[in-house]
Amino acid sequence: MDIIGEHRIAAPREKVWSALFDVETLKACIPGCKELEQTSPTSFAAKVQVKIGPVSANFAGTVELQDIEAPGGCRIVGQGNGGVAGFAKGGSQVILVDEGDETVLSYHAKAEIGGKLASLGSRLVQATSRKLADQFFSAFTLRLKE
């Protein structure tokens, strides 16, 4: 499953870059985030509650930032396990580009799911994934305006 998006953020690229590594910012912006802990300068452990169609689950997972080219972009690789609900794993290439006083953040994510989640059908899972990504980036954009 591929998810592609682009968001214009009214903040300098360095500020956007720093926010991508800030635990409090990420915790406030990730939909359903219950816990987020930075386990190294480039990795995090999280607990997130997610509802996809009729399936609601608590996922425990990890996220690692790789191929870091500050402040231009990086690759984000993660995986999560939701018990009987299934699992999700994947990665995303994130690119930050200056455009005047704003930053354009674009991403291309690929995800793989299994368990009950996979039985829901790719359309529902992809639509929910896109919705969650949009919720994250909307909250992220608003937080950076503060």
CATH number at residue 91: 3.30.530.20
pLDDT value, residue 63:
93
98 pLDDT exceeds 80? Answer: yes
Q: In percent, how much of the chain has pLDDT > 90?
A: 64
Tokens of 105: 């953040």
Report the alpha-carbon distance of residue 141 to residue 146 in Å, rounded.
9
* pLDDT band (50, 70, 90) for residue 121: confident
Instruction: Please give the tally of structural domains in the chain.
Output: 1
Q: Which range of residues forms the domain containing residue 9?
A: 2-145
Burial 68-92 (b: 16+ CB within 10 A, else e): eeebebbebbbbbbbeebbbbbbbb
